[in-house]
Amino acid sequence: MTNDIYSSLNKIIKNASSVCFFGGAGVSTNSGLLDFRSKEGLYNLKSKYNRSYEEMLSIDYFLEDTKTFYEFYREFMIKDDVLPNKAHLALAKFENEYHNLSIVTQNIDNLHQLGGSNNVIEVHGSIYRNYCMNCFKKYGLDVIKKSNGVPKCSCGGVIRPEVTLYGEALNSRAWMDACNTFHNAEVLIIGGTSLHVYPAADLIRYYRGKCLIIINKEETPYDSYADFVFHEDIGEVLEKLLEI
């Protein structure tokens, strides 16, 4: 894209009454995290277990073999030593300066908040929130990291992540907040997601705004509906789009 297009979009975004950024795993890959569906993504790695990694992220597998689920989860899903990258930082800087940006994320890594964003809706939950399946006592991440095997509550119940696994419904409050954010957005920026994960990808149906921008290295099913499409590095594009 030319600098003129970036400049024009920057003005549109700054002058919009509300902007929604909807992001997926590709937002965090520059921080060292794996995405899921790309050629180098988690689901294309050879599994160390008797199930694919995609299957292991299901509620059925969690209930069937909780111990092995946690072996996998600790190795591949708990990455609390990574830092926000330029995409997270650009979004936070823009939000703090213009106050018209809301973030709806499919990620569970908390990197938007660590980068300084405040208005974040996590439709798939967070690795930092966990709870007992018996008494619903809440726990932080350390109880998962420091436990061996299946983490247990003081009441004896199994502790599970407050993360939406395949086969589970999304948190109803987060879903409604996300739907309202999409519906009220004048500008929608979609980044780092294949738009193949449902029901989260259905959120785009609630958008009624004026300018749809998609940033993803690979094509998405909604590219033809977008006003602008960038198949480039998301951090570099966001820095230019949101330049203050």
Q: Which residues are catalytic?
A: 124
CA distance 111 to 47: 26
Dihedral sign for Cα atoms in the order 48, 53, 55, 58: positive
Strand ranges inside the chain, DSSP E: 19-23, 101-105, 120-122, 125-132, 138-139, 159-163, 187-191, 211-215, 228-230
Tokens representing 188 are 């929608």
Dihedral sign for Cα atoms in the order 203, 173, 110, 21: positive
Give residue 47's identity as a one-letter amino acid code: S
What angle do helix axes 234-241 and 3-15 make, rounded to 10 degrees?
Answer: 60
Which residue's entry shows tokens 């694919």?
52
CB neighbours of 64 closer than 8 A, spacing ≥ 6? none
